[in-house]
Amino acid sequence: MATSDTVFAGSIPDIYDRLLVPLIFEPYARDLAERVAATKPRLVLETAAGTGAVTRALAASLGDARIVATDLNQPMLDHAKARQSGNARIEWKQADALALPFEDQTFDVVVCQFGAMFFPDKVQGYREALRVLKPGGRFFFSVWDRIEESEFADVVIQSLASIFPQDPPRFLARTPHGYCDKNRIREELKAGGFGAVSIETVDARSKGSSARDVAIAFCQGTPLRSEIEPRNAPSLEEATQHAAKALTERFGSKAIDGRMRAIVVTATR
């Protein structure tokens, strides 16, 4: 994982939340929230909360349960908090998922949507989730399957490789879609101390209002931007236009719809 893979700053949080969240995160946020709600928790910890897609879904589905939403990246957390500023059941806290500032056996559930891929030490991240869970508590998290299973992301990466042939930007394939080996996930959870582990794939549809919006979401609303901008030529805007053209050729010129696939994991303490 490159250093820039974890940088969500500048205009990225706004574009991420405005375009990328409804495009790819919301269906899976609802799925995770339903899984969490079925356990009837009283206190939930969310790690790698980002701009709050899961936080909002949890708040809508958990009744009077309390939620502690954390993220390592303060600009993303600030953006999430601004959207839920009136909800007293949510506590916002900057925190590293690999060194959680909470007492042992505090939470009924730990939940993390599309964040585990960014953990530099995944086993340590799992140890921390286990440590703060009460006996019988559950750790729910999701990661992306192979990039080929998420059509929009795959087309964007292929289009950028054609204009940066010597050094193609690979953030999407390297990190968000780079942690999809189910056997590895299971073994690392066991190394982190979890015994009962359930892993399943969940398909969903990704729907964008236009190819242009989808291209902006990926090229300008993720750390992919940090790979494109230093290359200077083509510019970020030119690269975005090229990705939009490729998406239009594949999916059409109006609202577009593509397949995506995630891996959803449940681990019990």
Question: What's the pLDDT at 13?
Answer: 85
Question: What's the pLDDT at 7?
Answer: 59
Angle between helices 236-251 and 151-163 (to 10 degrees): 130
The b/e string for 176-192 (b: 16+ C-beta within 10 A; e otherwise) is bbbbbeeeebbebbeeb
Question: What's the pLDDT at 9?
Answer: 62
Per-residue three-class SS string for 53-121:
HHHHHHHHHCCCCEEEEEECCHHHHHHHHHHCCCCCCEEEEECCCCCCCCCCCCEEEEEEECCHHHCCC
Tell me the C-alpha distance between 154 and 157, whole Å. 5
Residue of 67, 73, 71, 77 whose CA lies nearest to 33: 67
Question: What's the pLDDT at 112?
Answer: 98
Give pLDDT tens digits for 206-265.
999 999 999 999 999 999 999 999 887 789 999 999 999 999 999 998 999 999 999 999
Q: Look over the chain and give the mean of its residue pLDDT values, rounded to a whole number.
A: 94
Give pLDDT tens digits for 87-140.
889 999 999 999 999 999 999 999 999 999 999 999 999 999 999 999 999 999
Give pLDDT tens digits for 129-145.
999 999 999 999 999 99
Give pLDDT tens digits for 148-200.
999 999 999 999 999 999 889 999 999 999 999 999 999 999 999 999 999 99
Delineate the domains of the chain, giving CATH numbers in brackets.
3-268 (3.40.50.150)
Is 112:222 a contact under the CB 8 Å cutoff? no
Model pTM score? 0.94
Tell me the C-alpha distance between 146 and 136, whole Å. 31
pLDDT at 2 over 70: no
Percentage of residues in the chain having pLDDT higher than 70 = 97
Percentage of residues in the chain having pLDDT higher than 90 = 87
